[in-house]
A and B are shown apart, each in its own frame.
Chain A
Amino acid sequence: MDRYYGRQIVVPKIDAITAGLKIRPCFINDVCQRCGQINHYILPNQQFYCKACFILGRVSSLDVMLSLPEPNHFSNQVELTWKGQLTKQQNRVSNALLKTFSKNGEHLVWAVTGAGKTEMMFPLIYMALKQSKRVAIVSPRVDVIVELAPRIQEAFMNTDLAVLYGDQNEAYQYTPLVLATTHQMLNFRAAFDLMIIDEVDSFPYAGNQMLEYGVEKARKQLSTLIYLTATPTKKLRKKSNAGLIATSYLPLRFHQNLLPEIVTKTINDWRKKLPTKCLKQLQTFYKNQQRFLIFVPKVADTKTLCKVIKSHIPEMKGDFVSASDDLRQEKVESMRQENIQYLVTTTILERGVTFPGIDVIIFGAEEDTFTENALVQIAGRVGRSKERPTGLVQAYVQHINFKILAAQRQIKSMNKKGRMLKNQL
């Protein structure tokens, strides 16, 4: 029965239902009770299903939802097996979070990429688990979940952790600690006492009513909500500026260095012919064995550009990857294992994935796929290790536009705050 705790499980009305379960209709006033949307696809005989959340398995007017209230049946024998140390600023943020938690409040952690957000959460998660609270760490992006899973498990080795995302088949189990995509929250109901949303500004969560509804529904009425981001949406920034949400700001990276700034260079149409400037840069990378990522605007560019580079420098090992790539995880892993020197990619690798010591090149930074926040995130890929805390973020453009300037300004303003903080230390 524990698989029903804090869950919403969809079953056909006609099927036998275990006694004792709470039964709810799937639609109230036409509104889907899983995703909060009205988006019907009509079936025969005046029936219908919800198109909005179909990806999680069909909910139709022929179904009901089964659940049991969350009883917090967890042991409070919890151990924080992470033995690292928080920096002074990380500690300050961590303490602020504990305070918010004691009040069931909301809190925005606005930290530059590489500030060590995850570690800052550990004392908070530990506190919650010790009180037998149920904790969810969610992100809109599968990559982020996959990368976080081993780190979270390592920090709480003796606590059961469920990792839930789209196409992984691991059966659901009732656990105090849940790591999941925001999509998965649609299957929960009033389950969590502490909800941490990582990369809250990223696709597809930001501005997605269905996912926002799902996250709200998944947490208890009295619960704590933490937003983590390096690049908050306008909406969150406004809320923070108006003092409507407690905010912690962390402008320095964990190694106390600033974010690398984006350097621009104007070039001719790189899709026609690889400009000499770029080729020289690539040859330097090859000579120095400097590992790097290349960001391009379109999926189609990844393959063609990779081919062009290989035709010029065939000895340099590299690959290309995009969201629809079946071998995506393998290629990223191969980059991580340093089997290849570079990856040509789209914005899918703009965040969440860390390759220590790399440089970054952006082709077509002026094109629409790269938003202001995406560019800031991409710059954040660089300087992720103590050994090499800086690096090159080179944007090749055919012309500069406002968005690029805004991204550069955003980094500069964070670095200004960072410098001030450094002087205080």
Chain B
Amino acid sequence: MICLLCQTKKYESDTLLQVLGLKKVLERPICDDCNNQFAAIFTSCKGCGRHQGNNQLCTDCVRWQIDGKRLLQHRALYQYNDAMKLFMQRYKFYGEYAIRHVFNRKLKDLVKSRDTDMVVPIPVSYHTLMTRGFNQTIGLFENVRLTDLLVTIKSSKQRQSKFSRYDRLNREQFFMIENKTAVIGKDITLVDDVYTTGMTLYHAADILYQAGAKNVKSCSLAR
């Protein structure tokens, strides 16, 4: 097997059971050395999935509650450490689409554990699609059945900074929903690549709730 990340050849001696096909060979797209660089999240804030010593709500999440939001009960696989930053840089900035497979299986398991009716990815802008050529979130969750019904409006990224927190929460909208009736009464999992401030996901959730979604949770690769 050749490691997807460091491209070096690693030989694994298959056990006899695997050779005989009696035991399913585990899918392992990266080597142990690379895998050990990532820091998994074990206990975390029950609101945003932030890595911490207990599962109490963190101050950010308390603030979201004060702002009147229903918490997303976000879950992420990994902390946003140096290795994850580097991964995201290769994947998004250098556009190395091939490495989207690294976490496919684990992310599929994560989404499965949320047990909702529908999984909706955060969309990317037209400009990103025409330069990077792919939606990074859809790539990460490739083997999950996704309902891609959000679209971006305008270049929200640049405008974000011009508004106060209140404005950003209440006036500016990043997304539009393409098929509103599809979400009525549904339990939805929103998926994204990284949860940073939560702003993006809460916006998407607002729109889904407005369209009649029953419940919206979220997950991502990193937090």
The residues of A with any CB-CB pair to B shorter than 8 Å are 12-15, 41, 43-45, 47, 49, 51, 54, 57-58, 60, 62
Contact = CB atoms under 8 A, between A and B. Distances in A.
A58 B96 contact: yes
B130 A44 contact: no
Closest 8 A-B residue pairs measured CB to CB?
A14-B130, A43-B133, A12-B131, A58-B95, A47-B133, A44-B134, A62-B133, A43-B134
A13 B130 contact: yes
Contacts of A14: 127, 130-131
B98 interface: yes
Contact of B130 (A12, A49, A58): A12
B11 interface: no
A220 B133 CA distance: 34
A300 B58 CA distance: 46
Contacts of A43: 97, 133-134
A51 B95 CA distance: 11
Most buried by A among B97, B98, B127, B133: B133
28 contacts: A12-B130, A12-B131, A13-B130, A14-B127, A14-B130, A14-B131, A41-B97, A41-B98, A43-B97, A43-B133, A43-B134, A44-B133, A44-B135, A44-B138, A45-B129, A45-B133, A47-B133, A49-B95, A49-B97, A51-B98, A57-B94, A58-B94, A58-B95, A60-B95, A60-B133, A62-B130, A62-B131, A62-B133
Contact of B133 (A15, A49, A57): A49
Contacts of A15: 131
Contacts of A47: 133
Interface in B33-84: none
A47 B94 CA distance: 16
Contacts of B135: 44
Given A15-B131, A49-B133, 11 more contacts: A12-B131, A14-B127, A14-B130, A43-B133, A44-B134, A45-B133, A47-B133, A57-B94, A58-B95, A58-B96, A60-B95
Contacts of B134: 43-44
B105 to A, nearest CB: 20
Interface residues of B, number: 13
A13 B134 CA distance: 15
Contacts of A54: 96
Interface of B: 94-98, 127, 129-131, 133-135, 138
Contacts of B95: 49, 58, 60
A60 B130 CA distance: 10
Contacts of A44: 133-135, 138
Contacts of B131: 12, 14-15, 62
Most buried by B among A13, A43, A45, A51: A43
A12 B126 CA distance: 13
Nearest to B94: A58
Nearest to A57: B94
Nearest to A44: B134
A15 B135 CA distance: 19
Contacts of A49: 95, 97, 133
A45 B196 CA distance: 29
B138 to A, nearest CB: 8
B129 to A, nearest CB: 8
Nearest to B135: A44
Nearest to A42: B97
Nearest to A41: B98
Contacts of B127: 14
Contacts of A57: 94
Nearest to A63: B131
A45 B148 CA distance: 15
A42 to B, nearest CB: 8
Most buried by A among B94, B127, B130: B130
A44 B135 CA distance: 9
A140 B130 CA distance: 34
A41 B94 CA distance: 14
A39 to B, nearest CB: 12
B157 to A, nearest CB: 16
Nearest to A12: B131
A400 B33 CA distance: 37
Contacts of B129: 45
A57 B97 CA distance: 13
A361 to B, nearest CB: 28
Contacts of B94: 57-58
